[in-house]
Structure 1
Amino acid sequence: MHFSICFLLFLFYLTVPANADQPFHSEDYFYYICDSISTSTGNYTTNSTYQSNLNKLFFALDSNSTGNGFATGTSGTVPDKVTGIVLCRGDLNASTCSTCFSQSFNDILNFCPYYKTAMMWYNKCYMYFSSKYFLSSVANSPKKTLTNYYNVTVDPARFDQAVSQLMSDMKSWAVNNSTKFFATGEVTNFSIEFSTIYGLVQCTPDMTKSQCQSCLEDLIDHFFERARGRIGARTIGIHCNIRYETYTFYEGPAMVQIDGTIPSQSTAPPPHPVPVNKGSLKKSKVILVITLAVVAASLSLAIFSFCLFKKRSHGRKIFLSENDNSKMKMENVDSFLIDFSTLKAATLNFNESNKLGEGGFGTVYKGILPNGQEIAVKRLSQNSGQGVKELKNELVLVAKLEHKNLVQVVGVCLEGQEKLLAYEFVPNRSLDTFLFDNERRQELDWQKRQRIINGVARGLQYMHEDSQLTIVHRDLKASNILLDSDMNPKISDFGLARLFQVDQTAHATSRVVGTYGYMAPEYAMHGLYSIKSDVFSFGVLLLEILTGRRNRGSIDGEHGEDILSSTWEHWIAGTITDTMDPLLDCPMNEVIRHMQIGLLCVQEDPMDRPCMSEVVIMLSGNTISLEAPSKPAFYLRRGGGSNSQIVSDDRSLQMSQNDISIAQLGAR
């Protein structure tokens, strides 16, 4: 049975017991966020005042945390003022906490370079800093819920009830009996499957009792929306966090103990007093909530059983209708409107000398605004398949996103028959102009290609998981990756992108748009797209960057094999390095690892592909073991030519031989 590797790396972090006596390792981190809380904070530059203040803040936090494993602080003045917080797990000693903090300061600068807002969580501590002052608030954002991949198989409702009781009792203990607002607990003698359930809750010590109680209650109330039936989970925030596992992950004896044979009775070991139970009424509410949720999940599974993911769907997700414009309404449009006369003057009346490129939707020109800002103007052709709907879609989506690996929108023009979008100007144009040109490809050494791969991965992670919205791009390819003056990548062209609800997994469409060769099988064949569709496209792009070849028919001459087929056959033959771009001069083990990551991304079953957060971790180093990939989704029949067919199981469709980025198919 094939398991999804989405969250498997998180599972690794969730299943390795912590040991305070062992030295701290950087791989103990399990999640980080770069500037996803406030997209207006922007970036700082090397040797800037903000960087100097940040370094001073790190030193102050490390010094002030000695003793209780907690510190807050500020450094500098507005607009270069920076505020930070660090918190260590309550059961660890000062030396372990200091080591963890020091490592976090180094890691966060590597994972989130030049961000004014960033956070990194470890198993032993966390740290958060921002250019916005947040210490006067007890808001627990940013926060994230992570769950173990495996489910409880025996009496999951009773398991959830025991976890709920454990959480409630630990919350009471932390609030009423701990100066650190920290508690650990265990449910003993629970079952043959799991003899003991272990838990932990913690608030920052600067909170009041009522604030800590409210913070923990909020986490617990929403916890089982994600964690129901899982053998382990945690919700992490900047002011409080909760966690439970079926193995011990903290030091010392539990502060709260519950006899699993009598779920309603809880005891605490001496010398601690016994926590107070909440009574049968609260337990009844917990059981009722769990029961209703199970019924709702069952109904959802029945309704959506036709879906491609029917055997593995979570069942509790709700799809967003493609015709639901409520999510696409224009917000603050006036601030983005630019007069046609302004763009006409900026581009010298759309002079051919300013032409940057041309695609399926129209032509892109370079321009200069009156304030001196360089821009790229996309002027849609009159017969373009992209209309006002797509234009508004792109504006709304991109205007809400701000990430160094996403191109930024400057404005929009909708006057008469004219439809134009203005972007920040990116001087090195698109990746395909380098990658598929025999001479210019020599400029892409291994360091530059790694930078491009990592940047695109982080941009997608931000779109999928870390932004306030969840965006599926649907047309990720080399020509939509722009390169700045330092060859840093920026994902562009959001006209086909779609807005997802936070808990949505997939959506069916009758209008399949994108570029063959990059489109995932479930999307091309069935019209189903999700964040895993983008993961597939990223895998194709990654293999293109490694091989220096475009993924299209007849790419290997008389054999007509595409990159996916060729890479897979070399992989199983043990000759994978034969597929790499001969212009590359780099360690073979790095190429092999990147090839394996690319193959993992293009597996046929979306559930077998990793999430982008997992891909980012895979790309970050060699400390994470990778699964063996399965055969890629698409194969080309031998023969090539203009009538080549993409084959997936027993179905096929004609493949376009050009790079036009839009096609329309009926739903299948």
Structure 2
Amino acid sequence: MAGAALLIIFSLIVISVRSYADTRLDLVARSCETTTVQNKDDYLKNYESILQKMEPEMYRNKFAFNEAGKPPDKIYVLSQCMNDLSSVECAQCFARISNILPACFPTTGGRVYLDGCFIRANNYSFYREVTADGDINRCSDDVDTNEDFKMVLRDMLPRMVHKAPDKKGFALFQESRNGTTVHGMAQCWKILDKEMCSSCLADAVDLVFRCVPSKEGRALNAGCFLRYSTYDFGHDTNAGAVRYAIISFIIYIFLTAVVCTLAVAIGLRLGKMAYKQMNPRREWKGKEVDLAALDQAMKFLQFKFSTLEKATDCFNEANKLGSGGYGEVFKGTLPDGREIAVKRLYVNGRNRSREIYNEMDVISKAQHKNLVRCLGGCFTIIENFLVYEYLANKSLDGILFDPEKKKELDWGKRQKIIMGTAEGLEFLHKGCEVRIIHRDIKASNILLDIKFRPKIADFGLARLCSRDSDRISLVNNTVAGTL
């Protein structure tokens, strides 16, 4: 019976799928960068590996971005389909557009626009760019000098700019005047917020107005896409009423199953809790949570373990930046494109939770330009993690003791590093609410940003680990040069 019902549902879904004559796979524009990469083969391999990761995301979300490699040949890729395409149409568009972009290599990348999707690649993080030098428009050769045509455009385009940011960055319009009809579409990339979307589309309107009196015009910006035409090129997202009814029915059945499952799970959980209260000796103490410490930790930004696991590719050794006395450090990338450094602490477990939370309180009060900024943490029963800002040039010792890299450190930069480190230490000793003695100043604990500005790391964890020196020898007070 259940099998027959599923077969009927599947048949209805297949019948309700629309096929469109205009699949919007036509090439609108392609532009390539002028800078050449150092290793073309590695760059292309990284691009192909990124595409494999992006394909399922494009099918599910019609949007994806990813990155791979190491600077200066690290490659960043972003792609998105127009919201009115189906998942199947988006997958087709992505397959075509991703095969066009490699023609730009061995440059660092470029942009490709089809009528249904967009892709961009480069060797820097461009994800939040709204406009750029490469923004262009495309105008048709056919023109319409009718004054009504111009009036419709002047009325419709500003309305699209106003509506799209409130509609998840997408809007389809149709306006008519005295028998003249114009169709329009506005699409922002999903990584942009409302303000950035509005700004991008406002700039796109200026670009596309330059096409008038052309019957069709497109604005191709770094962060958005705007199009108008005298023919209906969009896919009507409201036409699939039958499909909507079927999907609603499936969702209803699914939610009913979920509610029933949750009811059973809650009943089992409550029964288990009651059993533990009646049999305290049989409780597995290894899963106890220090609720008092947890309340204290809520003052800080809490990262989910799943977020950190995804950001570091399951703490892949390829993302490991190094390890020291306090823990291992991994590079990660958050869903919004920000790069972070995740420190997996050696000190962990339920008994150390309160000490770690107290230490987080100390670190959060130490805010200075020459101290590494702590973004938050993740605390589990098994492991504890701290999340810091990522500094591109990593630790000073990696440059200072490398025969080639140390040539980048002229005496001017070295003096700035010395003065910046001294200012950071002075702040820890005198300017912080709680006086902090670092006790482990060395080149590996001085990190450098992209402009070689120094930032002191591990200024709070020394206190944490020194309390446990009888079990973990992490601080050596006899080392020359330490405090």
Report TM bin, short chain: 0.3 to 0.5
> TM-score, length-normalised on structure 1?
0.31
> TM-score, length-normalised on structure 2?
0.43
Structure with larger Rg: 2
Greater fraction helix: 2
